[in-house]
Amino acid sequence: MPTKLPPSPKHALTAPKGFRVAATTAGIKDSGRPDLALIAADGPCTAAGVFTTNRVLGAPVIVGKQHLRGGRARAILCNSGNANVATGAQGLADAKAMCAAAADALSHTHPCKPTDVLPASTGIIGRPLPIDKITRAVPGLAAALAAGPKADAAAAQAILTTDLIAKSAVRTGMHRESINFGGIAKGSGMIAPSMATMLGFVTTDAAVAAPVLRRALREAATATFNRISVDTDQSTSDTVYLLASGVSGTRPIREASGVRYRRFVDTLTDLCDELAQRIVRDGEGATRVFRVVVAGAKSERDADRIGRAVAESPLVKTAIHGADPNWGRIAMAAGKSGAALNPDRLRISVNDQPVFRDGVPVPMTPAFEKKLSTSMRQGDVVLDLDLRLGKAHCAWWGCDLSREYIAINADYTT
Amino acid sequence: MPTKLPPSPKHALTAPKGFRVAATTAGIKDSGRPDLALIAADGPCTAAGVFTTNRVLGAPVIVGKQHLRGGRARAILCNSGNANVATGAQGLADAKAMCAAAADALSHTHPCKPTDVLPASTGIIGRPLPIDKITRAVPGLAAALAAGPKADAAAAQAILTTDLIAKSAVRTGMHRESINFGGIAKGSGMIAPSMATMLGFVTTDAAVAAPVLRRALREAATATFNRISVDTDQSTSDTVYLLASGVSGTRPIREASGVRYRRFVDTLTDLCDELAQRIVRDGEGATRVFRVVVAGAKSERDADRIGRAVAESPLVKTAIHGADPNWGRIAMAAGKSGAALNPDRLRISVNDQPVFRDGVPVPMTPAFEKKLSTSMRQGDVVLDLDLRLGKAHCAWWGCDLSREYIAINADYTT
């Protein structure tokens, strides 16, 4: 069983060398909580991003993609409280204005162009971004840039919306090299009448060629941020940015192959998995987290489809909520995924206890079933599905579906 | 806005000429409620079926598909209380034994082979079907076969599991021809520790060639049973059977084209839509029903994907539950569907009130928004999405997501 995660580390984005961060309250949120964060590199970075595949896109996603075309960046400016989505031409202009304001404020200490700044916004949608509040606050942010746990924790806090806790992760050392990684994230949740977003910002002091960095981030995100499910819905603003400062003093990684590339991807994936897990654990109304481990699939695509179908199934999610080792719902969800599956070969275990085998349920005494249910109440739940058709595998994170989810998402107007 | 449906008619399956039905309590359900129904035709019928696309299949689905290969059938035998799913080789033998028992009991009055009988089972899964109880009850059922509202209502009742109400529909006359249709259905819901199922049985006295009947049922089911969403999960036993007795005295329909084929499909679709609607209205925990009308899509597949994504979105479903005209969640769900969509062309209306247009929300006073919310509380909700990209369209039925759904599906073990 996976162990519970320790609390988020304070030191995150500036644990890798070459980065400084600052956060403030620009007055975008009605609550008066921090809502603006600036991440700046001491020198030019290679950079990569992965974005939502939703056809309805927030303005910062459109601008962020444009600014990443050259594979370089110097800073990330992120506000919470307003997502700058469904805001038309003005929204695009505002996202660009954010970048221009940051480049301007950084001009003396971190000279860069507006296109070297990556924008991100999260919060309410369909309302004009209060761009004046942002541009007014940016010079102060640039002046306050600092490294260390205090600044990192402030940045992690300022990007939140409905999240209950700040989310960060850090990896010090990559195999035996002094390469470091840090990251912060926010989860998906809804606020009236709008949608929030998954955001992740990751820094590393490795030197990595831009195309290699892009490939590495895609690999890592596919196995982590793209394999979590809170409620199956997908925001218009989901964004992960990765900046590589290259000041670790280690040899540059110039190719997307070989042992050092593999280590880089593995460490990055490990960090992203921690951030993704923190998002699921803080999912709206989530009281319990479960891991869906799929093995023996014909292809990775099949493994992924089955993992997703099980993690997203409302009947599986409610069974997990009720601590019921319900093999029927798990088999049903796997079966509806469209992936190749032979029920007579399928094996399902819940918390290492076989519950389904050779097309039929494993006989269980009521006492044993109760014991298994008790184990499901005590911590994370692991659902293992072995298809016994091939060698492909994958793992998803899901959370249960509770009354609290309904309360958060239906009753916000009353 | 669609009007509320009147209560189900009593007269259904035997409204078309040439059918008789009977129902009884065989003792399969612990509750002691009716759990076995027999539908028999006075003469040979052409027959068709549509089934779940889940890879995990109930034994009756496997046997029913085999028995439909010749496109003919004489009877349907359906039990509730046990779905005969995940029961291995014994389950297949039991499904065949059901058919053999029915053929045997019908041998004097309705001579037919076991392969002329279509089996269906719904209820708990993973437990052996109590086949003896069924075979013992079948002779009495065969002797009790009758036509008329009383028998029809009993059959509609006997196929239910967690449904709150019986579901039937009838269509008398097809254009100006004396061709009749009748149908009963049960909805999807869960019972511990198992899954239930969508079943639909439809009769008609039209004379229709078997391949034409198959095509017609597929067309009708695609637009109705396949466009409803209660909880996105898909049972291992979903089945719709259609029997055509051919005794209406009207000219046979021999080709899947022409005006009479079109009228047949339209009337059948209309009947199936009523049954499908009744299933959604009785969805687990559903307090409100909504219609997703998609127009202007590039292809029917795109229209369908958008309709499904909106109808299934938990954030849309909870917004409907909260009576919130949340254009953001609707646009987000449409955008994540993968279908071609340009937000700058998209128009969204809620109960005929435009809420999103040209990529931005339609301005609305708080008073007006409140009025719109009130209208959402007063009856069915209609969500219109006009993509303005093409001519394809479709419509889905969905129901809201409530605490009651969680209660039904999480707390059944406690």
Does the structure show a pLDDT above 50 at A1?
no
Position A234 confidence tier, pLDDT thresholds 50, 70, 90? confident
Residues on chain A touching B346 (C-beta within 8 angstroms)? 56
Q: What pLDDT is stored for residue B235 in this prediction?
A: 81
Is residue B92 less than 8 Å (CB to CB) from chain A?
Answer: no
Position A134 confidence tier, pLDDT thresholds 50, 70, 90? very high
pLDDT tens, position by position, B52-101: 888 889 999 999 999 999 999 999 999 999 999 999 999 999 999 999 99
Q: What pLDDT is stored for residue A273 in this prediction?
A: 95
**Direct distance between the N- and C-terminal alpha carbons of chain A, in angstroms, rounded to an integer:** 40
Boundaries of CATH 3.60.70.12 in chain A?
19-281
Distance CA B66, CA B70 (A): 9
In sequence order, what are the residues at sequence separation of 6 or more whose Cβ sits closer than 8 angstroms to the Cβ of residue B178?
B248, B249, B250
In sequence order, what are the residues at sequence separation of 6 or more whose Cβ sits closer than 8 angstroms to the Cβ of residue B87?
A360, B59, B94, B125, B126, B127, B128, B129
Q: Nearest-CA neighbor of A295 among A348, A230, A373?
A: A348
Asked if B397 and B276 touch (Cβ cutoff 8 Å), the reply is: yes
Asked if B56 and B97 touch (Cβ cutoff 8 Å), the reply is: no
pLDDT tens, position by position, B301-334: 999 999 999 998 888 998 999 999 999 889 989 9
Within A216-284, strands assigned E span 228-229, 239-244
Smallest CA–CA separation between B385 and chain A, in Å? 14
Average pLDDT estimate for A230-251: 90
Tokens of B239: 């089945």
The H or E element containing residue B393 is strand B392-399
Q: What pLDDT is stored for residue A284 in this prediction?
A: 77
3-state secondary structure of B286: coil
pLDDT tens, position by position, A247-283: 999 999 999 999 999 999 999 999 999 999 999 888 8
In sequence order, what are the residues at sequence separation of 6 or more whose Cβ sits closer than 8 angstroms to the Cβ of residue A13?
A19, A21, A39, A152, A155, A156, A168, A182, A183, A184, A201, A203
Which phi and psi angles does A164 have, rounded to 5°?
-85, -30
Asked if A75 and A39 touch (Cβ cutoff 8 Å), the reply is: yes
Average pLDDT estimate for A307-317: 91
Does the structure show a pLDDT above 60 at A156?
yes
- Most confident range (mean pLDDT) of A127-141, A284-298, A397-411 is A127-141
Q: Nearest-CA neighbor of A233 among B355, B113, B319?
A: B319
- Residue of chain B whose Cα is closest to the Cα of A319: B410
Q: Nearest-CA neighbor of A17 among A189, A170, A158, A194?
A: A170
Average pLDDT estimate for A342-367: 94
CA A106 centroid distance within chain: 28
Is residue A176 less than 8 Å (CB to CB) from chain B?
Answer: no
Distance CA B41, CA B21 (A): 9
Q: What pLDDT is stored for residue B231 in this prediction?
A: 74
Is residue A256 less than 8 Å (CB to CB) from chain B?
Answer: no
Mean pLDDT of chain A: 92
CATH code linked to domain A289-410: 3.10.20.340
Probe site for chain B from A51, A52, A53, A55 (most B CB atoms < 10 A): A55
Buried b (16+ CB within 10 A) or exposed e, A290-305: bbbbbbbbeebebbbb
Q: What pLDDT is stored for residue A196 in this prediction?
A: 58
On the CB side of A399, how many CA atoms lie within 13 Å of its CA?
24
Residue type (1 letter), A336: K
Q: What pLDDT is stored for residue B286 in this prediction?
A: 82
- Most confident range (mean pLDDT) of A1-15, A305-319, B19-33 is B19-33
- Residue of chain B whose Cα is closest to the Cα of A325: B193
Distance CA A398, CA A289 (A): 6
User: Percent of chain A having pLDDT more than 70?
Assistant: 96
DSSP states of A50-103 as a string?
EE---SS--HHHHHHHHHTTTSEEEEEEEEEEE---S-HHHHHHHHHHHHHHHH
Smallest CA–CA separation between A336 and chain B, in Å? 4
Tokens of B33: 């409620």
CA B265 centroid distance within chain: 16
Q: What pLDDT is stored for residue B194 in this prediction?
A: 47
Q: Nearest-CA neighbor of B62 among B25, B92, B107?
A: B92
Average pLDDT estimate for A29-40: 95
Question: Tokens 């009856």 label which residue?
Answer: B379
pLDDT tens, position by position, A47-97: 999 998 888 899 999 999 999 999 999 999 999 999 999 999 999 999 999
Does the structure show a pLDDT above 80 at B196?
no
Q: Which fold has domain A19-281?
A: L-amino peptidase D-ALA esterase/amidase (3.60.70)
Asked if A54 and B359 come within 8 Å (Cβ–Cβ), the reply is: no
The residue count for chain B:
414
Q: Give the B window 8-47 contacts with A, CB below 8 Å.
A: none
Asked if B195 and A315 come within 8 Å (Cβ–Cβ), the reply is: yes
Does the structure show a pLDDT above 60 at A110?
yes
Average pLDDT estimate for B36-56: 95
Burial (CB count within 10 angstroms: exposed 0-12, middle 13-18, buried 19+), residue B203: buried
Q: What pLDDT is stored for residue B383 in this prediction?
A: 98
Q: What pLDDT is stored for residue A405 in this prediction?
A: 77
3-state secondary structure of B105: helix
Crossing angle for the helix pair B327-336 and B300-312, nearest 10 degrees?
A: 130
Q: Which of A120-134, A371-385, B199-213, B278-292 has the least mean pLDDT?
A: B278-292
The model's pTM: 0.90
3-state secondary structure of A130: coil
Q: Give the A window 355-374 contacts with B, CB below 8 Å.
A: 356, 358-361, 373
Position B356 confidence tier, pLDDT thresholds 50, 70, 90? very high
3-state secondary structure of A182: strand
Asked if B233 and A329 come within 8 Å (Cβ–Cβ), the reply is: yes
Q: What pLDDT is stored for residue A414 in this prediction?
A: 41
Instruction: Return the higher-pLDDT residue of A162 and B208.
Output: B208
**Pick from A88, A332, A340: which is nearest to B56 by CB?**
A332
Strand order in the sheet with A347-350: A228-229, A392-399, A289-297, A381-386, A347-350, A353-357, A360-361
Asked if B331 and A236 come within 8 Å (Cβ–Cβ), the reply is: yes
The DSSP bridge pattern shows strands A239-244 and A199-204 to be: parallel
Q: What pLDDT is stored for residue B189 in this prediction?
A: 61
Catalytic residue among A197, A204, A224, A269: A197
**Pick from A236, A332, A359: which is nearest to B233 by CB?**
A332
Is residue A250 less than 8 Å (CB to CB) from chain B?
Answer: no
Burial (CB count within 10 angstroms: exposed 0-12, middle 13-18, buried 19+), residue B24: middle
Distance CA B218, CA B222 (A): 6
Distances (CA, A) of A42 to A111, A262, B155: 9, 27, 76
Asked if B192 and A324 come within 8 Å (Cβ–Cβ), the reply is: yes
Q: Cβ of B370: how many Cβ atoms within 10 Å?
A: 13
Q: What pLDDT is stored for residue A189 in this prediction?
A: 61
Which phi and psi angles does B39 have, rounded to 5°?
-115, 120
Distance CA A239, CA A237 (A): 6
pLDDT tens, position by position, B1-12: 445 789 999 999
Residues on chain A touching B343 (C-beta within 8 angstroms)? 55-57, 86
Angle at B198 between CA B195 and CA B204, to 5 degrees: 155
Smallest CA–CA separation between A280 and chain B, in Å? 16
The CA dihedral of B343, B348, B354, B355, to the nearest 10 degrees, is -70
Distance CA A72, CA A118 (A): 10
Asked if A57 and B125 come within 8 Å (Cβ–Cβ), the reply is: no
Average pLDDT estimate for B140-147: 97
Average pLDDT estimate for B254-278: 96
Mean pLDDT of chain B: 92
Position A194 confidence tier, pLDDT thresholds 50, 70, 90? very low
Position B406 confidence tier, pLDDT thresholds 50, 70, 90? confident
- If you count residue pairs, one on A and one on B, with CB atoms under 8 Å apart, how many are there? 206
Q: What pLDDT is stored for residue B26 in this prediction?
A: 98
**Direct distance between the N- and C-terminal alpha carbons of chain B, in angstroms, rounded to an integer:** 40
Distance CA A190, CA A194 (A): 6
Residues on chain A touching B314 (C-beta within 8 angstroms)? 231-233, 314, 405, 409
Position A2 confidence tier, pLDDT thresholds 50, 70, 90? very low
Boundaries of CATH 3.10.20.340 in chain B?
289-410
Smallest CA–CA separation between B205 and chain A, in Å? 34
Distances (CA, A) of B214 to A36, B14, B235: 60, 21, 22
Asked if B216 and B47 touch (Cβ cutoff 8 Å), the reply is: no
Position B234 confidence tier, pLDDT thresholds 50, 70, 90? confident
Does the structure show a pLDDT above 60 at A195?
no
In sequence order, what are the residues at sequence separation of 6 or more whose Cβ sits closer than 8 angstroms to the Cβ of residue A88?
B358, B359, B360
Q: What pLDDT is stored for residue B188 in this prediction?
A: 66
